């Protein structure tokens, strides 16, 4: 019975890691969400306020045999607001620079920040803002590479409005 549990535990651990990694044009990008500031309210008898400043943390790794020059990163994050019955979506944008990367070198950046608000009824997240998707565009010497969170990003982006910071 013991040999069965070890592979099961390993598979469970591997599937529970919430990281999206993708390789394109010699660059590996891994993206995760990061809480920058949390000002949630105290739990009440029926609900708890949610007020968080969040960011996307991206790790860029050179997986080629040659050095990559410095480049620019454009980030677009789409957040669906719970306050709208029609599902209004806000667009957060940011641009930053990516340092030159030697072979197998990594750089970790907070590529975009956004706000999550709302309130929880118990553990139900019906009234909490949700990240719909994101897009990272890396520009190395005029060669652009897009990294998308989902295939429906472009459709969602067309319906989004620019967020008021």
pLDDT in tens, 58-103: 999 999 999 999 999 999 999 999 886 667 899 999 999 999 999 9
87: left (phi over 0), alpha (psi -120 to 50) or beta: left
Report how far residue 50's alpha carbon sits from residue 58's, in angstroms, rounded to the nearest whole number: 24
Q: What is the pLDDT of residue 127?
A: 87
Is pTM beyond 0.85? Reply is no
Tokens of 48: 């708890």
Q: What is the pLDDT of residue 6?
A: 56
Question: Cβ distance 71 to 140 under 8 Å?
Answer: yes
Phi then psi for residue 142, to 5 deg, are 85, -5
Q: What is the pLDDT of residue 68?
A: 92
Task: Give 103's contacts (C-beta < 8 A, 6+ positions apart).
Answer: 62, 64, 65, 66, 67
Which residue carries 């008021």 as its tokens? 164
Q: What is the pLDDT of residue 9?
A: 57
């Amino acid at each position: 019975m013991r040999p069965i549990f070890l592979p099961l535990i390993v598979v469970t651990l591997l599937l529970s890691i919430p990281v999206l990694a993708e390789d394109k044009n010699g660059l590996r990008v891994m993206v995760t969400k990061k809480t920058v500031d949390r000002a949630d309210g105290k739990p009440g008898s029926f609900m708890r306020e949610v007020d968080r400043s969040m960011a996307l943390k991206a790790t860029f790794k050179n997986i080629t045999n040659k050095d990559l020059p410095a480049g620019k990163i454009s980030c677009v994050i789409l957040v669906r607001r719970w306050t709208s019955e029609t599902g209004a979506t806000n667009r957060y944008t940011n641009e930053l620079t990516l340092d030159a990367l030697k072979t197998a070198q990594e750089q970790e950046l907070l590529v975009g920040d956004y706000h999550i608000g709302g309130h929880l009824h118990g553990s139900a997240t019906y009234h909490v803002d949700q990240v719909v998707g994101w897009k990272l565009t890396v520009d190395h010497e005029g060669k652009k590479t897009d990294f998308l969170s989902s295939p429906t990003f472009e459709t969602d982006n067309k319906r989004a409005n620019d967020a008021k910071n």
